[in-house]
């Protein structure tokens, strides 16, 4: 089983579903729609980044694994917290979104480092 491909597929599907819900189910609430759109967009982008990390891992690039883990954590924290906020759920841990953003940035940095190394 290719775990990163599976997570990318699930994340992509959830991102499209969230976008549809934001467009139709959150009509009339511009703030919630904006949060849903942002979470969906970042989810889709990072699902693709996860596929790139999987490809590099398949080529034997060891740093791609940590990048994939950071992308996964970042999507869960950043996109997940925005989605919960958009749907109207309480967000007890206000640092989830920034922590997720930092994980996504770190994932990109490691992915870049992986590309620079032989």
pLDDT in tens, 41-77: 999 999 999 999 999 999 999 999 999 999 999 999 9
* pLDDT (0 to 100) of residue 31: 93
The pTM of the full predicted model, rounded to 2 decimals, is 0.92
* pLDDT (0 to 100) of residue 118: 66
pLDDT over 90 at 108, yes or no: yes
Q: What is the largest CA-CA distance in the chain?
A: 51
* pLDDT (0 to 100) of residue 91: 72
Is pLDDT larger for residue 40 or for residue 95?
A: 40
């Amino acid at each position: 089983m290719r775990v990163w491909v599976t997570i990318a597929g699930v994340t992509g599907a959830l991102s499209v579903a969230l976008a549809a819900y934001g467009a139709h189910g959150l009509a009339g609430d511009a703030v919630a729609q904006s949060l849903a759109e942002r979470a969906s967009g970042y989810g889709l982008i990072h699902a693709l980044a996860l596929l790139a990390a999987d490809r590099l891992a398949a080529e034997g690039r060891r740093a791609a694994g940590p990048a994939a883990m950071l992308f996964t954590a970042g999507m869960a924290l950043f996109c997940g917290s925005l989605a919960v906020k958009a749907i109207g759920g309480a967000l007890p841990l206000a640092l989830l979104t920034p922590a997720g953003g930092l994980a996504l940035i770190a994932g990109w940095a490691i992915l870049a480092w992986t590309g620079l190394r032989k």
